[in-house]
Structure 1
Amino acid sequence: MTKVQMTPENVEGLSTSRRNLMRFAALTGAASAATLISTTSSSSPAHASDATSNIFPSELTYPTVNGPSLALWGSSSFEGAQADQGVPAGFNATIEALLHTYLEAPVLNFGRGGETSTQINARRGTPESMYKLVFPQDTIPASGSVEVTLASDSNVAWGGSTLAAGYVGGVPGVLVPASNDTFTFTRQVDGEAIYAPATTPASWFHSYQEMISRSSYHIIQIGRNNMNQTEQIRKDTEHAFALAPKRTLVMGHFRSRSDSKDSDRAKQVSEYNAWAAEKYGELFVNPETFLRETTQESWLRYGALSGSGVWSSDTDRKAYDEGKIPPSLFSTDGLHLNGWGYIALAQMLYYKVTGLGWF
């Protein structure tokens, strides 16, 4: 196989300056995972769990934003599924942790595994995907939890992975699945019962994540869990992008380890990425290209990916010839990346957002 020669300057969808390259080299070093561990562990993501007050549970608290920040909207890849695989113990290879280190800025991790593009958009706060709730007797109780359903005109469907913090009629609460087609809304602050008639804005759920990220830059990667719904994913991408069109980066998708280039998912990934690249131009970034091509280059392979073993086996080379991503970057489940794969994606996003002048 003839090795494809790629550099940070000519990777599709990336724009990198010498200043950014030098800054990144200083952050990561080039020697080993041990260097990466000391870099990231000494600058782990700051969370607001120690703030003076926070009415939501600890898993729904986020860094305090006092300046430029970055919000990550997506499913399990942004949440960090399997990020501990492959890398040395103790190294936090989640995209959130790595970008926080590289950018020296708050990173709001709004990844939630298992969610579809529409469910992610419900947390993103798009008007088209709001949870429109139906309370018993059209009333939010004065305290505690209540089982609710979705109004018939809700565009977002019930989801078993839902975990959302927000406000209904000014009442803070957390929404989680109760059973098929029903949710539990748990009020976070006791008070008076509130009249919230169904089919009116008084019963709509307003996302807390959307509220706290209005000043942020945004990266969206939505639709991996419903790739077969081509038109829906495109509409949801458009709706999410429209909330902050000058401050939003659309991240494409990548196929799974076992997906051949002729598989349904590979075709869906390719079609979505081509559509998004044409529609969003410099505000689109293609992870498939980065994982297949850029990880071969010495500045990355012998830099931050030192110790990964990527491209050192015949298996990786054979996968490339078959149009696939190298298996060395996947976790054991074959669906998610391992820690090394996340390191590659975090660097891709670092170069992109700094190239755009956001940080």
Structure 2
Amino acid sequence: MLLSRRSLLRSGALLAAAGSVGGALAPLGSRPGPAREFVLWGSSSAASALARDRPPGFPEVRIDVLLSRLLEVPGTSQAVSGDVSSQTLALRSREHPYRVLLGRGGLPAHGTVVVPTADGRAPSALVAEPGTVAGVGCTIRGVRGREGVVALHRVVPGAALAPGTGPQSWWRTALQEAHRGQVHLVWTGKNNIAEHWQVLADTRAIWAVEPERTVVMGHWHTWRDRRGTARWEQVRAVNAAYRHEYGQRFYDTMADLRDPRLWALPALRPHRIGSSAEDRRWLAQGLPPRSVVAADRAHLNALGNTVLAHGLARFLTGPAGLY
């Protein structure tokens, strides 16, 4: 009988047999169903921001790149470091636009215009995101040092437009359509976890775009979120709400980071995750082992990204039923 990669991942055999970080093995059977691409949404953790933080000799590991290898499908990340949940929502859903106030000047025939937004919301200044204003292709980015102000850049020159200050002038994301039909891994809200009600509402709106293909990833406790802090309770409350609302499409990030079976991957075994005194101290406080966390104590390092990518592959081919 032929065994598929899906069945091996579900049983954990692929994790144990993998001889490299990626665990790339020759296919042992056909994958059931269509091989959908995936995309990660969120902030710095979903962007693998500290992938270069790694022990000597260990490679840089991005979650999206390694997960793509494990699932043998294309994958990418649209995460932006520093984003809060409402910013992730604006990139994911055309129904939650940035309410740009173009004013009398309107949209110029070419180039860039700097304008405020009606509600003070603005995207990150780090990335120019693709979208449209009144059907015209425009990128948007925040303006450093100017809260609630954005720079719109017209992608293709054409006639100047004066769409007014209502919904016609609002910027709507192009990423919703660009990633339609893919599997969506949503990992957002840690940067505004204190506003847990907002995190839950924004996540619910993201889920609603394509619920049949969306996974909601739980948050993990960093050193700042350790037991006894207000953030410990906030993270627990959001994760509990996620588990209740999304059921089998909730991915328990924290559980996998603390799973010794994942620490035992051949590529990770030499690093003896969980065995040091500091690892044991962190585990005793309800945290992941210290060795999978970057120097800033707030993001995963390359070891942590490796654990998480394998955990996600196991989940997506198992309980989530998406691969």
Could you say whether these structures have the same fold, taking a TM-score greater than 0.5 normalized by the shorter chain as the test? yes
Relative to 1, partners in 2 of residues 1:140 and 1:157: Cα closer, same or farther, differing over 3 Å? closer
Match among 265, 271, 274 for residue 308 of structure 1: 271
What is the Cα deviation at residue 19 of structure 1? 3.2
Other structure's SS at 1:132 match: coil
- Is 1:168 matched up with 2:136? no
Other structure's SS at 1:177 match: strand
- Is 1:358 matched up with 2:319? no
- Is 1:198 matched up with 2:195? no
Aligned-residue sequence identity (percent) comes to 28
Contact kept? 2:218, 2:251, Cα under 8 Å? yes
Relative to 1, partners in 2 of residues 1:172 and 1:213: Cα closer, same or farther, differing over 3 Å? same
Q: Please give the alpha-carbon distance, in whole angstroms, between the structure 1 residues aligned to 2:189 and 2:58.
A: 31
Question: What's the RMSD between the two structures over aligned residues?
Answer: 2.5
What is the Cα deviation at residue 147 of structure 1? 0.5
State the TM-score, normalizing by the size of structure 1.
Answer: 0.79
State the TM-score, normalizing by the size of structure 2.
Answer: 0.87
- Is 1:288 matched up with 2:254? yes
Match among 1, 7, 25 for residue 14 of structure 2: 25
Match among 298, 302, 319 for residue 339 of structure 1: 302
- Is 1:94 matched up with 2:94? no
| One-letter code aligned to 1:358 | L
The C-alpha deviation readout for 1:97-116, integer Å capped at 9, x for no partner, is 01111111121311100010
What is the Cα deviation at residue 151 of structure 1? 2.1
Unaligned ranges ≥5, structure 1: 1-15, 41-65
What is the Cα deviation at residue 25 of structure 1? 2.0
Contact kept? 1:78, 1:94, Cα under 8 Å? no
The C-alpha deviation readout for 1:179-230, integer Å capped at 9, x for no partner, is 2321111111111112221113x21212121111111111111101101001
Q: Please give the alpha-carbon distance, in whole angstroms, between the structure 1 residues aligned to 2:13 and 2:111.
A: 48
| One-letter code aligned to 1:191 | G
Equivalence map 1:151-166=2 (5 Å): 151-152=118-119, 156-157=121-122, 159-161=124-126, 163-166=128-131
- Is 1:276 matched up with 2:279? no
| One-letter code aligned to 1:170 | G
* Aligned equivalent of 1:73: 41
Unaligned ranges ≥5, structure 2: 26-33
What is the Cα deviation at residue 163 of structure 1? 3.7
Relative to 1, partners in 2 of residues 1:20 and 1:149: Cα closer, same or farther, differing over 3 Å? same
Other structure's SS at 1:174 match: strand
- Is 1:329 matched up with 2:303? no
Contact kept? 1:72, 1:219, Cα under 8 Å? yes
Q: Please give the alpha-carbon distance, in whole angstroms, between the structure 1 residues aligned to 2:13 and 2:152.
A: 44
How many residue pairs get matched? 308
Contact kept? 1:158, 1:180, Cα under 8 Å? no
Other structure's SS at 1:36 match: coil
What is the Cα deviation at residue 167 of structure 1? 1.2
Relative to 1, partners in 2 of residues 1:89 and 1:134: Cα closer, same or farther, differing over 3 Å? farther
Q: Please give the alpha-carbon distance, in whole angstroms, between the structure 2 residues aligned to 1:282 and 1:217.
A: 15
